[in-house]
Structure 1
Amino acid sequence: MPVDPEKLKVALSKALDMGKGRKFKQTVEMVVVLRDIDPKSQAGKLRETVVLPKGRGRRQNICVVADGELAEKAKAAGAFMVISSSELQSIGKKQAKKIADTCDWVLVRTDLMAQVGRVLGPALGPRGKPPVPMPPSADVSALIRRYENSVVVRTKEQPQLSVAIGTEDMSVEDLTANASSVLALLESKLPAGMGNIDRILFKTTMGPTVEVL
């Protein structure tokens, strides 16, 4: 059964109020504590991409690895960085780490995936940023817009997950819509749906956690 949006709003409002006063724009995070889930089991290993309906609240750097027309379209669409196959060949370990740190998402033309795996994979993998395959015929502009508003929902060592649902300058209504989208995904992916969710909490980057009651 879905969580009452009004309960999400109450907790979000409190978290925003208790976390305000910092000198930078804070991220708003949702922490979901799971029950009866072994994060080491296949069922407990979650890694899903969610498009937040109200956006991230801040710019994400979308990088594209492609050649020719697709590369030109990516530049025109405002990609943060476009890397050609020839440029890829000259990238060393230090530069690969810099790219992995700078790019939030790396979209790769499908025929270049193996090359990207060799060159950028060792840097992207530990940062939880696997490259995203992109068909040569893809609408790269639409993909860039999509991933600018996307987050990864994943479990790690513990039976819980933390995901950014926006920034503190967004409205409570928009943050609630984003949180609801993440919860809807979890409901569809967890073995027992919402029955596997024990607690839901919100916090700003530097603020205390507030539980949804």
Structure 2
Amino acid sequence: MANKGRKYLEAAKLVDAEKTYAINDAIALIKKASYAKFDESVELSMRLNVDPRHADQQIRGAIVLPNGSGRTQKVCVIAQGAQEQEAKDAGADFVGGKELIDDMKKGWLDFDVIVATPNMMGELGKIGKILGPKGLMPNPKTGTVTMDVKKAVEDIKKGKVEYRVDKDGNINVLMGKVSFDDAKLVENFNTLYDVVAKARPAAVKGQYFLNITVSSTMGPGVKVAI
């Protein structure tokens, strides 16, 4: 805490670090503790009782939040033929084939998400060392490898978020903005909670959710009652 600023320390005093709060109260507390001059993101962190070294416990997916994420994402679509026009009509920011992949090889990465048709994955795979570490490689589990590029682009623009368990069993995902109505943030939280709960691996014994925390970009974390 020594390197935290005065405003953060004042905000942290509003939160009882030993207490878990009902989600409605947690959201209200996040807003009360928000002090930044910009519209902070609201993030959800879940620590799960899983071992991601096992394939069946690598929880990953994507979902369109009912009230959006509040973040505008630039979408790059790698496709050919009819899918190119579909992607453009759906509002993709960049659309193309091998010429865009060549640009990526040279360091162009001015987008947030890549959607690709299955027949283009062979070419994209050649630059996996560039895309992989940045989390940009398309994946069927998140709906970014598909022939239905129109739906994929529309979903991302509506507020689709990806969730993925890290090597320590944590999932960190965007669930909205501080400016959202409390009820909308609660609904987004419940949607994410439900989808992760349904993904519980059969191999997990005992408690699945170890702890859940919500926070704003700059503010302190608030523990949520499970």
| Partners of 1:67 and 1:84 within 8 A in 2 | yes
CA distance in 1, matches of 2:151, 2:56: 31
Identity of aligned residues (%): 27
Structure 2 counterpart of 1:157, which letter?
A: K
| Partners of 1:186 and 1:194 within 8 A in 2 | no
1:53-95 per-residue CA deviation (whole Å, 9 max, x = no partner) reads 111112111111122332123223221111233x146335332
> What SS is found at the alignment partner of 1:152?
strand
Structure 1 residue 56 and structure 2 residue 69: aligned? Answer: yes
| Partners of 2:45 and 2:214 within 8 A in 1 | yes
Structure 1 residue 165 and structure 2 residue 180: aligned? Answer: no
Q: CA deviation at 1:159?
A: 2.4
Structure 2 counterpart of 1:115, which letter?
A: E
| Partners of 1:187 and 1:193 within 8 A in 2 | no
Report the structure, 1 or 2, having the larger helix content: 1
Q: TM-score, normalised by structure 1?
A: 0.83
> What SS is found at the alignment partner of 1:91?
helix
- Give 1:34-53 correspondences, 5 Å limit: 34-35=48-49, 37-53=50-66
Residue 3 of structure 1 aligns with which residue? none
> What SS is found at the alignment partner of 2:31?
helix
Residue 129 of structure 1 aligns with which residue? 136
CA distance in 2, matches of 1:76, 1:193: 47
Moved more, 108-117 or 66-75: 66-75
Residue 191 of structure 2 aligns with which residue? 181
Alignment equivalent of 1:206, drawn from 218, 221, 225: 218
Q: CA deviation at 1:194?
A: 9.3
* Structure 2 spans left out of the alignment, 5+ residues: 1-20, 139-143
Aligned alpha-carbon RMSD (Å): 2.2
CA distance in 1, matches of 2:52, 2:104: 34
Moved more, 178-187 or 122-131: 122-131
Q: CA deviation at 1:202?
A: 0.6
Residue 80 of structure 1 aligns with which residue? 93
Q: CA deviation at 1:110?
A: 1.9
Alignment equivalent of 2:156, drawn from 131, 144, 147: 147
Alignment equivalent of 1:112, drawn from 99, 113, 120: 120
CA distance in 2, matches of 1:155, 1:89: 28
Alignment equivalent of 1:24, drawn from 38, 49, 53: 38
Aligned length: 197
Structure 2 counterpart of 1:23, which letter?
A: K
* Structure 1 spans left out of the alignment, 5+ residues: 1-5
Structure 2 counterpart of 1:69, which letter?
A: A
| Partners of 2:78 and 2:97 within 8 A in 1 | yes
